[in-house]
Structure 1
Amino acid sequence: MEHVLVTGGAGYIGAHACKALKAAGYVPVAFDNLSTGWRDAVKFGPLHEGNLLDRASLDAAFAAYKPVAVMHFAALSLVGESMKDPGKYWRENVTGAANLADAAVAAGCLDFVFSSTCATYGDQDGVVLDEDTAQLPINAYGSSKLAIEQLLADFEAAHGLRSVIFRYFNVAGSDPEAEVGEQHVPETHLIPLMLDAIAGKRDALTIYGTDYNTPDGTCVRDYVHVSDLVDAHVKGLKWLKDGKASRVFCLGSGDGFSVREVVEASRAVTNRPVPVVEGGRRAGDAAVLVSGSRRAVEELGWEPKRSDISTMIADAWRWHQSEPYER
């Protein structure tokens, strides 16, 4: 069976991608330094402990498994932290990606699926973002991801490294069987923070900013179910294996939900109150970020099956009530 190297394969999205790759007939190799990932999440193929800043560990993984493709999820992704320490984000994300691309080219592994972000677009209110929207990032996280997209174009021109790039916003939910799920230390994502508050694991959910130019004053974001997201990544891999040209795809619902709307949906799904406190805005947060996915639907044949807000919260809640990962 053919191997696929999955960077960040012990993380939330990476672990789901490994499950989807196994179902598609591949052997996923989780390449992870376990700084934020979880050993317990590696259930669908081998774990290769390594660091993207250590070229030797990358070369060892390519030599050991001879992967036919790379799925690159590993990245630092905290917007606020990126504003305070941009050097860390450029070093970890951009240098790490350059090392990975170099190692892939050296190994003759020329199919690359990259998990980018719609944060590359910056704050463009009132626009449904698509693949042709101008990219104007407003934080170092988005800037680092945009740099990687440009890096991949350069590697294709020089070395023939073809890529499929996915841009998307918030990811939520868990696989329906709740085999893997979302757990971060510290936790920063809205839905798991909210479910922690509902379950009594924290005092309350803090809403950061209630004075945005939105209908209820809170930020509006697009959401996609993690199972739908990784299904698109597997379809992106097939796109490359079919010999098609490098392509960018946005993944989103085309509709956004405000923080308050997500809170109300969670109250309805769990039938429990959601303790909430209001805080100030966070640096680097845009007011409204919504993405379309017309190209992915039409060209990849992508069909988001679980990306309604109630299903995402219900699946996340099911995982949240299970035993958490342990170091």
Structure 2
Amino acid sequence: MTILLTGASGFLGSRIRKELLARHVLTTLGRQPVGERHIYCDLAEQVPNLQNQTFDYVINAAGKAHSIPKNRQEMADYDRVNVQGTARLLTALEQMPTLPKAVVHLSTVLVYGRQEGHLLDESTALLAKDAYGPSKVRAEQLVREWGMQRNVRTAILRLPLVVADQPNGNLAAMMTAIRRGYYVRIGNGSARRSMVRADDVAAVVVRAAEVGGVYNLTDGRHPSIHDLEEAIARCVGRTHIRTVPFGMAKHVARLGDGINAVIGRKFPLDSIALQKLTNSLTFSDQAARRYLNWKPRAVLDCFQ
């Protein structure tokens, strides 16, 4: 297959690229050169020139990742990158002599806008309200509507926390804190969270292109925060994690609410953060198991 991959220099995109290179003719597209076959383009600013290109599948892993925006410009970037960037990519695909057979779009479970829930499936309403989630909802809608109007198969992969042997983002910060001994567990850490391995996602994108549809991808184990903390602690050689009772953390979070109301979201623990750390939020991957032959491995094995 001939495949176009956007976002190939990113955390997940780089792993998808590695997976695809072994079996397919791969072209990458983005601001940073990746491999021999590369199209230079910033989708947040311009429509790429694909007039002389032909691809069987397009995998869109480009986008602005989830973070707390510090100002209006950073909030606007979610729309500029995730929504307008996706629209520019779709516009470029129409320039090709032949439309692709399928488009796979990497999305997030944050489109559901839920702070807690048990095995939520793909029929769950999309109620995201923060700066990031709604941009991913709109990007999904663009891809699905474009595909229906042009009879191009589309697949949407909604991902929870993505884990690899070299983690990034909040998980990397958590690992550093545990290694250095200043990480603190809140309560008993019993809240469960859906997670997925980056290499498992990379391995299923071609199957998703062949089948189409909307899918949550998880490892199916939904480990507790406690289990994740302990797995990381063993990995970095720590034998003990300090614990703060939930009641004490709740008082600190209320203090954080007051501070952040004045200076913005800079104090690390407020009621929103506490809720995320102590509420269970899991997603069902049964649709992927049924239609994509999804057989994920345990996320915690990444830390062995």
With the length of structure 2 as denominator, give the TM-score of the two structures. 0.78
Work out whether residues 6 and 31 of structure 1, in 8 Å CA contact, stay in contact via their aligned partners in 2. Answer: yes
Task: Give the equivalent residue in structure 2 for 1:321.
Answer: none
Task: Give the equivalent residue in structure 2 for 1:118.
Answer: 109
Q: In the alignment, is residue 93 of structure 1 matched against residue 82 of structure 2?
A: yes
Residues 221 and 64 of structure 1, relative CA distance in 2, 3 Å threshold: farther
Deviations 1:143-180 (A, max 9, x none): 11111111122212322232111111011114xxxxxx
Q: How does 1:51-66 map to 2 (within 5 A)?
A: 51-56=42-47, 58-59=48-49, 62-63=50-51, 65-66=53-54
Q: In the alignment, is residue 224 of structure 1 matched against residue 196 of structure 2?
A: yes
Deviations 1:170-204 (A, max 9, x none): 11114xxxxxx555xxxx321x223334565xx84
Task: Give the equivalent residue in structure 1 for 2:170.
Answer: 189
Task: Give the equivalent residue in structure 2 for 1:157.
Answer: 148
Residues 82 and 299 of structure 1, relative CA distance in 2, 3 Å threshold: farther
Aligned pair count reads 275
Task: Give the equivalent residue in structure 2 for 1:292.
Answer: 284
- Hey, what's the Cα distance between the residues in 2 that align with 1:301 and 1:204? 41
**Who wins on radius of gyration, i.e. which is larger?**
2
Structure 1 counterpart SS, 2:117: coil
- Hey, what's the Cα distance between the residues in 1 that align with 2:242 and 2:7? 32
Residues 82 and 109 of structure 1, relative CA distance in 2, 3 Å threshold: farther
Structure 2 counterpart SS, 1:268: helix
TM-superposed deviation, 1:127: 2.3
- Hey, what's the Cα distance between the residues in 2 that align with 1:3 and 1:124? 39
Q: Which amino acid aligns with 1:227?
A: D
Task: Give the equivalent residue in structure 2 for 1:280.
Answer: 269
Task: Give the equivalent residue in structure 1 for 2:227.
Answer: 261
Q: How does 1:108-257 map to 2 (within 5 A)?
A: 108-110=98-100, 111-123=102-114, 125-174=116-165, 181-182=166-167, 188-190=169-171, 192-197=172-177, 204-205=182-183, 210=186, 216=188, 220-239=192-211, 246-257=212-223
Task: Give the equivalent residue in structure 2 for 1:319.
Answer: none
Structure 2 counterpart SS, 1:257: coil
Residues 124 and 78 of structure 1, relative CA distance in 2, 3 Å threshold: closer
Residues 145 and 206 of structure 1, relative CA distance in 2, 3 Å threshold: farther
Q: RMSD in angstroms over aligned alpha carbons?
A: 2.9
Work out whether residues 197 and 219 of structure 2, in 8 Å CA contact, stay in contact via their aligned partners in 1. Answer: no
- Hey, what's the Cα distance between the residues in 1 that align with 2:125 and 2:44? 30
**20, 26, 29: which one aligns with 2:27:** 29
Q: Which amino acid aligns with 2:175?
A: L
Work out whether residues 105 and 143 of structure 2, in 8 Å CA contact, stay in contact via their aligned partners in 1. Answer: no
Q: Which structure 2 segments of 5+ residues have no match?
A: 245-267
- Hey, what's the Cα distance between the residues in 1 that align with 2:78 and 2:85? 10
| Identity within the alignment, % | 25
Deviations 1:58-96 (A, max 9, x none): 11xx34652222101111122312896432211111000
Structure 2 counterpart SS, 1:127: strand
Deviations 1:80-116 (A, max 9, x none): 1289643221111100000111111221333100101
TM-superposed deviation, 1:140: 2.0
Deviations 1:35-67 (A, max 9, x none): xxxx6xx45x533331113434x11xx346522
TM-superposed deviation, 1:126: 3.0
With the length of structure 1 as denominator, give the TM-score of the two structures. 0.73
Q: Which amino acid aligns with 2:87?
A: A
Q: Which amino acid aligns with 2:9?
A: A
Q: In the alignment, is residue 69 of structure 1 matched against residue 57 of structure 2?
A: yes
Residues 308 and 298 of structure 1, relative CA distance in 2, 3 Å threshold: same
- Hey, what's the Cα distance between the residues in 2 that align with 1:218 and 1:80? 25
Deviations 1:232-269 (A, max 9, x none): 21211232xxxxxx411111134433444322111123
Work out whether residues 216 and 258 of structure 1, in 8 Å CA contact, stay in contact via their aligned partners in 2. Answer: no
- Hey, what's the Cα distance between the residues in 1 that align with 2:242 and 2:10? 28
- Hey, what's the Cα distance between the residues in 1 that align with 2:28 and 2:16? 10
Q: After the TM superposition, which of the residue ranges 270-279 and 110-119 deviates more from structure 2?
A: 270-279
